[in-house]
Every structure is written in C-alpha cells, then in structure tokens.
Structure 1
Amino acid sequence: MTTTAAAIPVSFAVARSPFSVTSQHIEAEGAVQFASFRQDGSGGRHAVAVVGIREAKLYGLCQSAVAHTPFGTVTLQIHSDGQRPVKASQLVLDLDALRGDMSFGSVKMGRDASTLDGGGITGPAGVYGQQARTLTIEHMRMEAWSLTAGMFSLSDATMDVRAGEHPC
C-alpha cells in the first residue's frame, strides 16, 4: 500500500486478513472514496474502497483482529468509552465492507478520483470517486485491510487478547 496520511508517505503490505471496527456513532468532516487494490504480504491482491476522512469523532468504538497462530486462534480487541469520542484526523482506510445508517452532506458523486479535494487524499485519474463535506454513520460496522492516521486518540480505552474468535 502506498498512500499519504498526515503528509507522511506510508508504504506497507497489508495482513492476510481484515480487521473489524464497530462504532455506535461517527461524525466526520471531509470524506472521499474511490476503488483500488491492496497487496498483502504474500502477494495476494484485494479490492478495496479507499476512504479518506479529514476529521472524525467515533463514539463507542470496538476494534478487533482475529489471528490464527500455531498455538490456536486469538483475538485482539480495543474498546473505547462510549461517552467520550475517539478523535482522529487525516484517516485513510482500505475497506472491504461498510455497513450502517449513513448520511452525507454536500455530496458529489462521479468525480474523477484524481480531482477529489474533500478528504485529504486523491486517487488515480479516470477512476470513479465521490466526496462529501460531512458524513454521519449510526451503528457502523466495517471490515478493513488497513488504517493510517495523522492522529488517533482514545480516552479510557482498554485492550485485551483472548483465546478464540471474538470479533466486535
């Protein structure tokens, strides 16, 4: 993956399995989206929706990643306090799926991805893109291959690792 988050070039191969993120409520300013591919560490290619978000507040965040190890399956989970938001800026996500009740403000669909100017990233010329000045999602559930951010701040967060599969 090669992208720019927080004006810092980032390049890495994604893991061979996506991770899950859920949130009760998200409020975002400046969001863009376009289609692309990402390569994992073993050379596999995955179709993704690349999403850029300038600023976001996420309430009731849960992030989980299931790993299949030689000793069995384990799940890493991170939870945030549902009352105080997780704050993030200059987010770039490579999504496999996104579900929830979404509301877009000042949306522009069908833009060439190379001309997007609402979320801090652009895509390749000739690729379908869309952007919105605001984005709100209720009961969000996403499967992502990667996430980069200029800043990601969690209050009263907990992280634990448990045996077995325990996705958010």
Structure 2
Amino acid sequence: MNSQVRGGTRWKRFALVMVPSIAATAAVGVGLAQGALAASFSVSGQDFKVRADELVGQDLIQYGGIAEGHSLKGDAQHHPVTISGFREAKITNMCQSLVTPVPGIGNITLKLQTGHKGRPAVAQNIYLDVAELDADAKFEQLDIGVAVGDQSHATKPQPGTVTSPFAFSQRAKTATLTNVRQKAWATTAGTFTLPDLKLRLLSGDQPCYEDEK
C-alpha cells in the first residue's frame, strides 16, 4: 500500500467529511453487542467495496429489499439491494474500502483488512445489503422460491427490512463463496470478530479491487 496521509491535514474539515462515511461501515469495523440491528437507519450516500478470498456462511437467507438514504448532497435516495443474511459467517482475507473526496485534499481511502494469517473473521447474525456481487458460489441444501416470511427459515429476515413477507427468497444450509468482489450499502451483525485488524487512511484511490472495464 502507498504511504499514509500525514501532517498538514485540516482535521476538523477532514472529520466532517469522513465521519459520515465511516459510520456507513461501522458495523464491519465494530462488533455490535445487541444483536442484528433493525434496518431502519438511513444509509449514507456512498457504497463501499469488500473483497475476500472466501466466505463460508451457515443458514443463508437471501431476498430483495430497499436501502433508504440520502446522497452526499442530501437528496433522498432508494437503493435496490439483495439482502443476504447468515446465522454465522467465516471470512478469510477480507478487505473493505471506501474512497471519499475531501475538499482541499483530494480522495482519501479508508481501508480495513482482517482475517488473514490463518485466522478468519467471524460474524454472528450478519446481514449484507449488497448492490453488486461477483464470486464463485456453492450452495448446499438449497431452496429457491421460498416466501421471505416463511417461518421455517433458520435465519429470519432482517428486522425492519423494506420488503413484503410474501416476496421471493432463497435459502441454503451452507453457502461457500470464493474470490468475492462486492459492493454494498450497509452491513449489520450481532457480533463481528476481526483478528489482526488493520485500518489505514491512504491518499488517493486505493480500493480493495478495481472495477472491470
């Protein structure tokens, strides 16, 4: 990674810009002690990227929803998302990044890395509001076309989800995703254990992966 931003930064201005962005990814950076949160918060005007070598999730539920929020200019926005919920997920070699323009400085990349050195990150009751996903996927004990509100789901829909209980969903006992490339608007988890966590602020555009052209 390139050198970090050091010295000469107008930290008050920087904080005003970065704090809302960091809040959008706080559920990934901090374990939430009270269980999976209701999806009633307003998402920020920025999505973020996640890359991982592997994600192994137990008791998957996956369905469509809407992430409600505002643009950086304050305009109301509604983002169609695929909500993926797991009772437990183990993530190997995870990288999360968010690029934010800072007036007078240029772009700053917030990058978080964890789950390497043979110790995966572990999340309990995790829900991902996904805008894009590229991966190799393997599902075990898969059911497609189940109603979101079906009570036989091992993992329940996220509280506060903007969707009909009779909407289309799929579920699987185990989902294994490899070579994961994902854009998301939000992540919530009951707990998220991040071994060997590294969080850096880097100058310029240094996302976890580049978009395909």
TM-score by structure 1 length? 0.91
Q: Which runs of 5+ in 1 are unaligned?
A: none
Matched, 1:129 2:129: no
Pairing 1:15-34 to 2, within 5 Å after superposition: 15-34=44-63
Matched, 1:87 2:127: no
- Distance, in Å, in 1 between the alignment partners of 2:82 and 2:38 is 19
Identity %, equivalent residues? 29
Matched, 1:47 2:47: no
Pairing 1:144-163 to 2, within 5 Å after superposition: 144-163=184-203
Deviates more, 1:146-155 or 1:34-43: 34-43
- Distance, in Å, in 1 between the alignment partners of 2:36 and 2:62 is 18
Pairing 1:105-144 to 2, within 5 Å after superposition: 105-115=140-150, 117-121=153-157, 124-144=164-184
Q: Secondary structure of 1:17's match? A: coil
TM-score by structure 2 length? 0.72
Work out whether residues 37 and 189 of structure 2, in 8 Å CA contact, stay in contact via their aligned partners in 1. no
Give the RMSD, CA atoms, in angstroms. Answer: 1.6
Higher-strand-fraction structure:
1
- Distance, in Å, in 1 between the alignment partners of 2:36 and 2:203 is 38
User: Which of the two has higher C-alpha Rg?
Assistant: 2
- Distance, in Å, in 1 between the alignment partners of 2:80 and 2:40 is 17
Q: Which runs of 5+ in 2 are unaligned?
A: 1-33, 209-213
The alpha-carbon deviation at position 134 of structure 1 amounts to 0.3
- Distance, in Å, in 2 between the alignment partners of 1:160 and 1:136 is 28
Deviates more, 1:142-151 or 1:68-77: 68-77
The answer for the alignment partner of 1:75 in structure 2 is 109
